[in-house]
Amino acid sequence: MKKIPSGEIKFVAGTDYDFTTPVVLSSRIEKLGGYDHCYTLDPGGKMYLSARVSVPEKKRSLQVYTNQPAIQLYTGNYLSTTLSPMEK
């Protein structure tokens, strides 16, 4: 599968790409081979919380606020996770 943006927007509700409720990311990474996906957002031009990642046992968390129309989730080699707001 080539990971070239096509402009197609797919709905992810109920799939392994659905993060509208909290999930243990590692439980899906192994199954899918990692993430390198762009998620469209609807910020309406306002800054809002668009992503949250936490590691409770390490007492660490990251929150991403953006007013951009998309966010990229990249899990790399399973040892790291990156969330990047994407500009128009």
Given a contact cutoff of 8 angstroms between Cβ atoms, the answer to whether 36 and 3 are in contact is yes
**Tokens standing for residue 12:** 């992810």
Question: What type of residue sits at position 65?
Answer: Y
pLDDT at 47: 93
pLDDT, mean of each 10-residue run, the chain (88 residues): 71 91 83 85 87 86 90 73 60
For residues 71 and 84, give the distance between their C-alpha atoms in angstroms, rounded to a whole number.
Answer: 5
Instruction: Report the DSSP pairing between strands 60-66 and 48-55.
Output: antiparallel
pTM for this one? 0.74
Given a contact cutoff of 8 angstroms between Cβ atoms, the answer to whether 30 and 45 are in contact is no
